[in-house]
Structure 1
Amino acid sequence: MQIREAAADDWPRIWPFWHRVVSAGETYTWARDTSEEAARALWTSPPKRVYVVEDETGTLVASAYLTPNYGGPAARVANAGFMVDPDHAGLGYGRALAEHVLTAAKAHGFEAMVFNSVVETNPAVGLWKSLGFTVLGTVPEAFDHPRHGRVGLHIMHKTL
């Protein structure tokens, strides 16, 4: 597996699984019918640093972005978003990418990372906890999950 910063021409390989994940409506708070143009802006607009994972065959299987969560005097707190192609889930790509992005965040001077809205039924909650994130709080019934109904959104934090 290779993890690297994304190039501009990687977007056409990110979009298919980005669209699949978001349109499923189970893990992201973005509109399920987000257009490709809007999706690209959400995922890649500066100051975001975008990373991708390629498997042994060169297939792009995951992506993440790293960005400041706040500005000004709180700019040392990072935010990130992660997506693994559902056809490649459970193979360790998400964990490897998360570890890479956490290391990159620290190298770029961030001192903490916060996730503003992690759907409480998202299997990635276990990953984040195993990497040292804690749930600071949960906004109850804030997310309309297509299978589970209304579920909470966790706010998660990790000191880097």
Structure 2
Amino acid sequence: MEIRDAVPEDWSQIWPFLRDIVRAGETYTWPRDETEEDARGSWMATALPHRTLVAVEGDTVLGTAKMGPNHRGPAAHIANASFMVSPQHGGRGVGRALGEYVLDQARADGFRAMQFNAVVETNTGAVKLWRSLGFEIIATLPEGYLHATKGYVGLHIMFRRL
């Protein structure tokens, strides 16, 4: 598996699983009816310090991440990242590889910490992964997420120093 910066040609493989993950309404805070145009504009970074990455095996995109500052100005030293792994390639360590890569890259880019603003508490695989990579749940917004099948569930804010 290789992790590299995404190129525009990767979008045709990212969009199908990104669309399905968002529409499922279980893990992402995006509108379930997000259009391809809006999703592409939000996901595909166009300029540093924002970047979009892909985990690939040969010509196949296994997963993707986007990263950059969580806020601007005097709070721009805290990074943020979002991740999606194609369900076809889940359980193979793609999320962990992307997470480790993003942490290393954020450190190299001079960020002091990383914060995830919205980890759905019922997404136990993600919570377990991020905890194993040193993140702590620093707050949970009760009923902060309307899950497609479980109703209102908590939304974690997770943090780790770099």
User: Residues of 1 paired with 2:9 and 2:85: CA distance?
Assistant: 18
SS at match of 2:152: strand
1:8 Cα deviation after fit: 1.6
Superposition pairs for residues 68-87 of structure 1, below 5 Å? 68-87=69-88
Corresponding residue SS for 1:121:
coil
Structure 1, unpaired ranges of 5+: none
Name the CA distance, whole Å, in 1 between partners of 2:117 and 2:110. 20
Q: With the length of structure 2 as denominator, give the TM-score of the two structures.
A: 0.95
CA change 1:46–1:68 in 2 (3 A) is farther
Distance 1:109 1:9 in 2: 29
Identity over aligned pairs, percent: 53
TM-score normalized by the length of structure 1: 0.96
Q: CA deviation at 1:98?
A: 0.5
Give the aligned partner of residue 40 of structure 1.
40
- Distance in 2 (CA, whole Å) between partners of 1:140 and 1:149 is 12
RMSD value over aligned CA atoms?
1.0
Find the residue that maps to 1:26 and give its secondary structure.
coil
Runs of 4+ aligned structure 1 residues displaced above 3 Å come to: none
Q: Which residue of 2 aligns with 1:50?
A: 52
Which residue does 2:99 correspond to in 1? 98
Preserved contact between residue 45 and residue 66 of structure 2 (Cα < 8 Å): no
Q: Which residue of 2 aligns with 1:26?
A: 26
Deviation at 1:147, TM superposition (A): 2.0
Give me the whole-angstrom Cα distance separating, in 2, the residues matched to 1:136 and 1:16.
33
- Code of the residue aligned with 2:8 in structure 1: it is A
Q: How far apart, CA to CA, are the structure 2 residues paired with 1:35 and 1:113?
A: 28
Q: Which residue of 2 aligns with 1:17?
A: 17
- Structure 1: distance between partners of 2:126 and 2:91: 10
Q: Could you list the per-position Cα deviations for residues 38-71 of structure 1 after superposition, in whole angstroms to 9, with x for gaps in the alignment?
A: 001111244420100112x431110000110011
